[in-house]
Copies of this chain bind each other. A is one copy, B any other.
Amino acid sequence: MPSPELLARLAELSDLNHAGQILAWDQQVMMPPAGGAARGQALGTIESLAHDRLIAPQLGVLLDAEDFDDPVVRTVRRDHDVARRVPGELAAEMARAGSDGFEVWLRAREANDFKVFEPALRRNIELARRYADCFADVEHPYDALLDRFEPGTTAAQVAALFMRLRGGLVPLLAEIAQQPEPPPLSGNFPTSAQRDVGLQIVRAMGFDDDAWRLDDAVHPFAASPSPSDVRVTSRFEDGSLLGMFALMHEVGHGLYERNVDPALARTTLDTGVSLGVHESQSRLWENLVGRSEPFWTFWLAPLREQMPDTLGDVGLDAFLRAINVVRPTLIRVEADELTYCLHVILRFELELALIEGTLDPGDLPEAWAAKTQELLGIDVPDDLRGVLQDVHWSEGAIGYFPTYAIGNVLAAQLWRALRADLPGLDDELRAGRYGDLRDWLVEKIHRHGRRLPPPQLIEQAVGGPLDPTAMLEHLDAKYRALYGIG
């Protein structure tokens, strides 16, 4: 048990993070537009106060006096050591460049012109390399960047993982592309009906009004200032059902935060351990539950009741085919379950080359187009639908993208493991019940918070390291069946 002095410092740090989460959530969901400038400054101050506290030498002295085997001590020690490796000036410069870069990115998008964005990207790449230089002991500079989002995973591991994914996904996609496309659902999906059924679904998943909120946001996200206060956002559109899957995705994130062991409250360990593990939770609910036959065996009827004009004549099989269309497309966030990882691989390979210096930022649009052709077999018509589509690099988040694919891979591994433990799961899903599934995830993942390093958590949950086999086999079986490929 850490000393009261250490716990008091961690509580203060947690409270600053809590304030930062609320300021950021409010900015996206509630704040009137004119409040933006002052909010940016306030958020910067809160983050900088938290950073100061994390790198405080007194924190190091307190940690030195503690039992290193205590998970709180070990985790905070690592946070402290990593943060101290980065000079304050560089950290501040990265924050400024990220904020500036975001504004430039918005302008470049308006102009649909990568050239506008290029200098800001160049600066972010340069700063990312200087950041990596602070960690001379890593095998590859990219490792230091990735570690910010996925502690314990290296560029070499990601490259190996992605090689396997490429090898499995590209030929499968080519086979599917030769099949006729299933008929799409036609008609309107009224947003009020989507919200209504969506809320029924997420309440069954574990959302409740005592500890959760649901609001609208342009880009759906989840936030949790504390495990007892979880906020998800959604965006429904009349033209498609995607908003319902996005809602399940965010509630998947939220369930992770909600179910961290209360004993970790205000230790800074009371949150998800990495972006990849977090994404495994959202993707599991969105795709492995939410795009499955057992799930819709229960939910299609209530949805059809609310949309009789659109779904009145649609049977379960046709519905499942329509919500599981596989098609190479240009935009990552609209990609299907199968092609999604190819978008991630594309970004990983490009940012790796940018960091290694083998690709100049000025040549990025051409490289983007070539990779899109190589991985997805389609042309990129302009920058907006190419290199300018994602916000991440503009804010300096280089090393972030692989976590999306790690999440997909881990979700399939968890799915395989939990199905072995829960033989009656499909029957539960067909009855609209998620208690056993949720309990399993809480037991294996959620309750641990940041207590275990991600590789150890994964090993413990699925009996081995990150491995794409389960995902490739799942996709192969699912889409061969749906598309009637032998």
Residue positions of A touching B, CB distance < 8 A: 11-12, 14-16, 18-19, 22-23, 26, 30-35, 37-39, 41-42, 44-46, 49, 209-213, 225-230, 265-266
Contact = CB atoms under 8 A, between A and B. Distances in A.
Nearest to A45: B15
A210 B46 contact: no
B210 A34 contact: yes
A105 to B, nearest CB: 23
B19 A211 contact: no
A226 B19 contact: no
A217 B19 CA distance: 21
Contacts of A32: 209-213, 228-230
B18 A229 contact: no
Nearest to A29: B30
15 contacts: A12-B49, A14-B42, A15-B41, A16-B45, A16-B46, A18-B42, A19-B22, A22-B26, A32-B210, A32-B230, A33-B210, A34-B229, A37-B228, A41-B266, A42-B226
B225 A12 contact: no
Contacts of A34: 210-211, 228-229
Given A11-B45, A16-B45, A23-B22, A39 B212 contact: no
Contacts of A210: 32-34
Contact of A15 (B18, B30, B42, B228): B42
B213 A38 contact: no
A213 to B, nearest CB: 6
A285 to B, nearest CB: 20
A196 to B, nearest CB: 20
Nearest to A44: B15
A30 B213 contact: yes
Contact of A18 (B12, B38, B227): B38
Contacts of A213: 30-32
